[in-house]
Amino acid sequence: MKRCRPAWWLMMAIALLLGGCASVMRVDNQVQSFARWTERGAGATVPQAPQVFRFERLPSQDGAGQAELENVAAQALAGVGWTPAAPGVAAPWTVQVSAATQRLPRAPWESPYDGFGPYAPGGFGGQFVLANNGALIYVPLFPRLESPYFLRRVSLVIRHAGSAQVVYETRAAHDGRWNASPALWRAMFDAALQGFPAPPAGERQVNIDLPR
């Protein structure tokens, strides 16, 4: 009797399904950091964890959005042993964080056309119709559905509280189609703090994997 074997396409579908359940979202970041702990008034050695700090803001940073961003940054800083000082406790360091998002209608390498030249923007499979003014207008049968693309940046600046000297600066840049979320911002701050407090010189790529 011939043994019954599962169809190959069924086995592939199961494998893809299982792989999708375990997939991750890779947040690839371009990171650059600068350390200057020995600046006058900041001490002569790199501070060792644990350390306490307080957040400082620019006048333009007051608002609920900044508080949420600082909460995410505090989680990333806790990962390197830095925590916010308790109320009434003097902190030797101040931390300023910022973030920015630029929304593009499509990825920079994508064309606004669909291969039909300059006369067929925004879709395909359509036809030219005569407008009231006598001009021919191309009306796509299948309109193009744009997929927005986001350019995101975060930065973190640490100052010595006593002297106001900047002793550490780091920033991370990431671009992609993912919607903004606390997990995404946290991944970017984690990347920005990679190598803290003595980061490697120069720009580097830091990848952070998040479960989908």
Domain presence at residue 179: yes
Q: How many CB atoms lie within 10 A of CB 149?
A: 17
User: What's the pLDDT score for residue 129?
Assistant: 64
**Whether residue 73 is found in the same domain as residue 175:** yes
User: What's the pLDDT score for residue 142?
Assistant: 59
**Whether residue 153 is found in the same domain as residue 124:** no
Is the overall model pTM greater than 0.85, yes or no? no
Instruction: Give the integer Cα–Cα distance in Å for 62 and 40.
Output: 30
User: What's the pLDDT score for residue 111?
Assistant: 73
Instruction: Give the integer Cα–Cα distance in Å for 36 and 46.
Output: 9
User: What's the pLDDT score for residue 97?
Assistant: 98
**Whether residue 178 is found in the same domain as residue 74:** yes
Domain presence at residue 7: no
User: What's the pLDDT score for residue 185?
Assistant: 97
User: What's the pLDDT score for residue 22?
Assistant: 56
Between the alpha carbon of residue 13 and those of residues 7, 8, 19, the distances in Å are 10, 9, 10
**Whether residue 39 is found in the same domain as residue 123:** no
**Whether residue 173 is found in the same domain as residue 77:** yes
Q: What is the CATH number of the domain that holds 194?
A: 3.30.160.670
Host domain of residue 142: 110-146
**Whether residue 205 is found in the same domain as residue 155:** yes
**Whether residue 75 is found in the same domain as residue 121:** no
**Whether residue 30 is found in the same domain as residue 56:** yes
pLDDT by 10-residue block (mean), the chain, 212 residues: 46 51 84 88 77 96 93 98 95 97 88 51 56 68 74 97 94 93 96 96 96 83
Q: How many domains does the chain have?
A: 2
Q: What's the token pair of residue 52?
A: 């306490």
**Whether residue 96 is found in the same domain as residue 42:** yes
Residue type, 132: N
